[in-house]
């Protein structure tokens, strides 16, 4: 449970993280190296805080995901939560437990370097430095089996929004219209590809450099920070959240928090090309239930004139909000022929991605 | 990597955490249930943030530690980091990955309830509510062995200190005196007892109710929040940190951050009774190298009139700070007979507890 230190491995690791985290912004008064980091939030702002696990074997696989993608997705999960509330990121914190070989072998250190590269490349684009965290040696299995431990990451994002203005899940009202950003189902479609071994070579090269969310919705999702900030600034969203668990699950969260019913127009859903090529039925399934698209789902009053895009990201009208009646399902799916069916949050649900 | 949801287990778990987290304080504008929590820090204050893993098999053992102690220690690790900088806690966040049986069995849910009880009992005493986090199903081993996954917790503490006033590791100057709070070596001594099966019955009953830090320095350590706040308010500490990795390792951090040398007076160390009964040599070893005492280590100018206790916790003078010379060891241990030896940070070092 405790052990003699391996200071070389540990110091190499911490120094590697520290060196990679020299960036600062005006809000970070004190970064890595003391008992706590110190942040100075902008006056008149509230703080938004979210934490998200990225666990090997649950959120990624070391034999399938390039390390840059693991780092990118780790940070993107947290940034997307800030985007959903319209907040601007101030700093990220990373708790990282690693199997011993990652800290002590050259290939392990290369994995770390590529992981940090992916994380910082995304953080740099949004002015979000790594300001602290924790390191640990990851436990091997209880039984003491020979197997190495797992890579366990927990990312913490601290953001800021003008006091009282953050977008919440709970403000949707009957009569509101339902919108989403970008396109849906792409992450689930690419994930299926990532999980087939034959495509590894292509993914490794594609995911490592020059990839973007449009090409790699699973490996390199783009948190919609500018779009979320624009929604907040314009004051046009009555409720918002990010699509991390899939439309059917996240819309249920919105409906439950707002105590409303939602009707989704199946024909209106903006299907990602990677999902569309699978044919209409799998594509609809991926758009409704595929998780990790990290687009925003939001509502606005019917009287709001909605732009076709916000911060360069297309906005699509996908349904509407009605009153919730006792005994009625929380969500309804409306097909092009006019038929309706209850929409169940029964699809791809991450046990792991539901914040509490 | 992803799986069909088990909504009942997950919802039970989240509801259990949510129900147990009804407490609020003035800084928590929005708690569990949205994409992020919202905090409103007191005006004129800076924010202090720290993250700490509590991993089964690394920081605790399910067959050795009562769940209340696991919850208590999980939160105490983070609170102690705030104490070290003189900060007042605003809120805690918990990322928690659990093996499936914890969410789905009655005994698992009881474990969770007792864990949360231990965590909240400590949080309540310091006005520190749980305001958010993440839940996940803990990955089972890579090899897909039959073994259940591990309990993985990451605690995030957000605190506040008057702008520019937080205590840091880097302010010690030659001529300063070196102090610690409370007593040392008790946690290491009790840990040795905890790891022997024969004492389980006694620990279970002792740890579950009415325990305190003096009796159970390992199972129920007390974060020195009031003492740290007092040091900040009085402005008497030039540098401070908490004793999480053991005196020899943490003092090295202080010396490195402040670029100074320290002389520790072996005879002056306040030995915890549980360590003292082991005899002089093991007791000295536990006091120097035993981790997780969660006392504060700090320096003050020699001209400062130091009280014998602060916020009810005894303060002991244990050494002094001198100039650091090239080629000289960073720390020296002085024995009662006047002999001196280099003090190496070679003892019980947690790979896991070094913040980066």
Question: Could you report the predicted ipTM of this complex, rounded to two decimals?
Answer: 0.89
A:201-230 residues touching chain B, CB 8 A cutoff = none
A350 contact residues in B (CB cutoff 8 A) = 2, 5, 136
Distance, CA of B172 to CA of B260 (rounded, Å): 7
- Confirm or reject contact between B293 and chain A (CB < 8 A): no
CA nearest neighbour of A131 among A24, A11, A13: A24
B85 touching chain A per CB within 8 A? yes
In a domain, B347, yes or no: no
Question: Model confidence over B211-266: pLDDT tens digits?
Answer: 566 789 999 999 999 999 999 999 999 999 999 999 999 999 999 999 999 999 99
Task: Put residue A144 in one of left, alpha, beta given phi > 0 → left and psi -120 to 50 → alpha.
Answer: left
Inter-chain touch A81–B57, beta carbons under 8 Å:
no
Q: Are residues B158 and B186 in the same domain?
A: no
pLDDT digits (tens, 9 = 90+) for A145-186: 445 789 999 999 999 999 999 999 999 999 999 999 999 999
Residues A149 and A197 in one domain: no
Domain count, chain A: 2
From chain B, the residues in CB contact with A355 under 8 A are 32-35, 132-135
Tell me, yes or no, whether B298 and B202 share the same domain. yes
Are residues B210 and B243 located together in one domain of the fold? yes
Residue pair A290/A246 in contact by the 8 Å Cβ criterion: yes
User: How many Å apart are CA A115 and CA A118, to the nearest integer?
Assistant: 5
In a domain, A119, yes or no: yes
- Is A47 in the B-facing interface, judged by CB distances under 8 Å? yes
Touching check for B192 and chain A: CB below 8 Å?
A: no
The Cα–Cα gap between A229 and A234 comes to 9
Residues ≥6 apart with Cβ < 8 Å to A252: A330, A331, A345
Is the same domain home to A330 and A185? yes
Q: CB of A63 within 8 Å of any CB in chain B?
A: no
Smallest Cβ–Cβ distance between A61 and the set B1, B59, B353 belongs to B1
Q: Across-strand partners of B98?
A: B137
Q: How far apart are CA A246 and CA A227, in angstroms?
A: 19
Q: Are A340 and A332 in contact (CB under 8 A)?
A: yes
Q: Is residue B355 a part of any domain in this protein?
A: no
The pair of three-digit structure tokens given for residue B2, joined into one six-digit string: 């992803």
Q: Any chain B CB within 8 A of the CB of A274?
A: no
CA A231 to chain centre: 18
Considering only CB atoms, which chain B residues are within 8 Å of A139? 55-58, 150
Domain boundary among A135, A162, A189: A162
Q: Are residues B199 and B289 in the same domain?
A: yes
For residues A140 and A204, state if they share a domain. no
Q: Do A356 and B131 touch (CB under 8 A)?
A: no
Is A223:A328 a contact under the CB 8 Å cutoff?
no
Q: Is residue A134 part of a domain?
A: yes
| CB nearest B147 (choices: A48, A143, A242) | A143
CATH label of the domain that carries residue A118: 3.30.1330.10
Q: By three-state DSSP, how is residue A46 classified?
A: strand
For the segment B304-342, what is each residue's pLDDT rounded down to a tens digit? Answer: 999 999 999 999 999 999 999 988 899 999 999 999 999
Q: From the centroid of its chain, how far is CA A206?
A: 20
Band (A11; pLDDT cuts 50, 70, 90): low
Residue of A nearest to B92 (CA): A49
Residue A2 located in a structural domain: no
Report CB contact under 8 Å: A40, B351: no
Whichever domain contains A214, its CATH number is 3.90.650.10
pTM of this structure: 0.90
Instruction: Convert B85-102 to b/e letters by CB count within 10 Å (16 or more is b).
Output: bbbbbbbbbbbbbbbbeb
Q: What is the mean pLDDT of residues A48-56?
A: 95
Judged against a pLDDT cut of 70, whether residue A226 lies above it is answered with: yes
Residues of chain A found within 8 Å of residue B249, distances taken between Cβ atoms? 5
End-to-end C-alpha distance for chain B, whole angstroms: 29
For residue B48, what are the domain limits?
7-162
Residue B203 has pLDDT above 70, yes or no: no
A52 assigned to some structural domain = yes
Residues B226 and B148 in one domain: no
Helices (H), chain B: 7-19, 67-84, 100-104, 106-125, 186-194, 200-208, 225-234, 247-258, 273-276, 280-289
pLDDT value at B113 more than 70: yes
- pLDDT at res. B15: 74
Q: Are A110 and A259 members of one domain?
A: no
Where a domain ends, among B128, B162, B196?
B162
Tens digit of each residue's pLDDT (9 = 90 or more) over A111-131: 999 999 999 999 999 999 999
Say if residue A152 is in the same domain as residue A185: no
Q: What is the distance in angstroms between the Cα of B145 and the nearest Cα belonging to chain A?
A: 9
For B32-52, letters b (16+ CB in 10 Å) and e give bbbbbbbbbbeeebbbbbbbb
User: Could you tell me if B353 lies within 8 Å of chain A, comparing CB atoms?
Assistant: yes
Record: contact B132-A18, CB cut-off 8 A: no
From B160, which residue of chain A is nearest by alpha-carbon distance? A38
Confidence check: pLDDT of A58 > 60: yes
A356 assigned to some structural domain: no
Task: Identify the band that residue A198 occupies on the pLDDT scale cut at 50, 70 and 90.
Answer: low
Give the best residue of B34, B39, B138, B289 to mutate against chain A (max A CB count within 10 A).
Answer: B34
Are residues B217 and B317 located together in one domain of the fold?
yes
Is residue B247 situated within a structural domain? Answer: yes
**Are A190 and A64 within 8 A, CB to CB?**
no
Pairs of CB atoms within 8 A across A/B: 328
Claim to verify: residue A203 and residue A338 sit in the same structural domain: yes
């Amino acid at each position: 449970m405790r052990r003699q230190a391996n200071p070389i491995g540990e110091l190499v690791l911490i120094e590697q993280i520290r060196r990679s985290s020299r960036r600062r912004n005006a809000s970070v008064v004190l970064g890595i190296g003391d008992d706590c980091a110190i942040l100075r939030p902008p006056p008149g702002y509230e703080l938004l805080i979210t934490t998200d696990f990225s666990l090997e074997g649950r959120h990624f696989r070391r034999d399938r995901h390039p390390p840059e993608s693991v780092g990118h997705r780790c940070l993107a999960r947290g940034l997307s939560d800030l985007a959903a509330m319209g907040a601007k990121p101030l700093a990220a914190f990373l708790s990282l437990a690693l199997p011993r070989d990652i800290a002590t072998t050259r290939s392990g250190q290369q994995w770390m370097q590529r992981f940090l590269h992916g994380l910082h490349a995304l953080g740099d684009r949004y002015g979000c430095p790594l300001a602290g965290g924790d390191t640990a040696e990851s436990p091997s299995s209880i039984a003491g089996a020979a197997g190495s431990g797992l890579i366990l990451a927990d990312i913490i994002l601290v953001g800021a929004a003008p006091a009282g203005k953050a977008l919440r899940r709970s403000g949707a009202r009957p009569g509101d219209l339902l919108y989403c950003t970008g396109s849906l189902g792409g992450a689930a479609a690419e994930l299926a590809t990532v999980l087939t071994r034959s495509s590894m070579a292509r993914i490794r090269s594609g995911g490592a450099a020059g990839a973007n969310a449009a090409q790699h919705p699973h490996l390199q999702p783009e948190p919609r920070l500018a779009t979320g900030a624009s929604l907040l600034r314009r004051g046009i969203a009555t409720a918002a959240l990010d699509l991390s668990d899939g439309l059917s699950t996240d819309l249920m969260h919105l409906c439950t928090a707002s105590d409303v019913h939602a009707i989704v127009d199946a024909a209106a859903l903006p299907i990602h090309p990677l999902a569309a090529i699978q044919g209409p039925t799998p594509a609809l399934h991926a758009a409704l239930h595929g998780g990790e698209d990290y687009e925003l789902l939001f509502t606005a009053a019917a009287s709001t004139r909605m732009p076709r895009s916000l911060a360069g990201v297309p906005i699509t009208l996908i349904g509407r909000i009605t009153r919730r009646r006792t005994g009625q399902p929380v969500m309804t799916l409306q097909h092009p022929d006019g038929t309706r069916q209850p929409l169940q949050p029964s699809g791809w649900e991450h046990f792991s991605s539901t914040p509490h």
